[in-house]
Amino acid sequence: MTDRYCVFGNPVAHSKSPAIHAAFAEQTGEAIEYTAIAAPLDDFAGAWRRFVAEGGRGANVTVPFKEEAFRLCDTLSQRARRAGAVNTLILGGNGLSNELKVYGDTTDGVGLVRDLKRHGVTLAAARVLVLGAGGAVRGVLEPLLAEGPASVRVANRTAAKAESLAADFSELGEITGGGFDAVVGQFQVVINGTSASLAGDLPPLPEDLFAPGATAYDMMYGAEPTVFLRWAAEHGARPEDGLGMLVEQAAESFFQWRGKHPDTAPVLERLRQAL
């Protein structure tokens, strides 16, 4: 029997998730069908219910539905509850006795941390700067803080939003927030979680931002380095994009659905070559 999974988004035709999960299924011998579904902007919950009625077992969720996915869950992982968003839905997951109940998780932070480690980045005792204070950043802070960095600084155009976000996670580690103009000192890891890369813009950052040997990581990716990564390389940092994060978060979703850890390296290499 073939189990059905999908990714919900709008738009979603560009999604690489079907190709990624098809590769995972082939590699692990799991019998699944994974498709992309463009849910109506005003009826995500209805799209999920229809998918379940047609035999769906779980789903990934991308923009703009992660908050709506959070609200329809019967139970949530701790990291999803703190993030206020869900990117992985599991029907009857997490030991729920009723198969029609829905478990929600967010795997983005796990994906980010695994990809950073794959690149040889040490987060423990590091000074980390995270740019942005939106949903993308909120979804990764808990796994990031769990690695034991010396400090995490959240910087955003609107300082109050960064300060509020840092306060929400303050019990998990040393984290502060503020505006871009308040960024001082040097950092071993700088993560761009803003949408500026999509518009070809660069947040206003000091030129002495990077410590010797620092890594600059952009959650965005493309065939060419983003403007942030080009700027970082010019200022002495090692640039890495977010394609690996995409594959690693997908691998964590796949594990939660199927109980198997796929080998992400060949899948990532195939995607990289196709960009």
The residues annotated with a catalytic role in the active site are 66
How many Å separate Cα 271 from the centre of its chain? 17
| DSSP annotation string for the chain | -PEEEEEEESS-TT-SHHHHHHHHHHHHT--EEEEEEE--TT-HHHHHHHHHHTTEEEEEE-TT-HHHHHHH-SEE-HHHHHHT--SEEEET-TT-SSTTSEEEE--HHHHHHHHHHHTT---TT-EEEEE--SHHHHTTHHHHHTT--SEEEEEESSHHHHHHHHHHTGGGSSEEEEEGGG--S-EEEEEE-SSHHHHT------TT-EEEEEEEEES---SS--HHHHHHHHTTPEEE-THHHHHHHHHHHHHHHHS----HHHHHHHHHHH-
Measured distance CA(22)–CA(34) in Å, rounded:
7
DSSP 146-170: TT--SEEEEEESSHHHHHHHHHHTG
Residue owning tokens 């070559």: 273
Report CA-CA distances (Å) from 197 to 55, 153, 176, 194: 38, 20, 24, 7
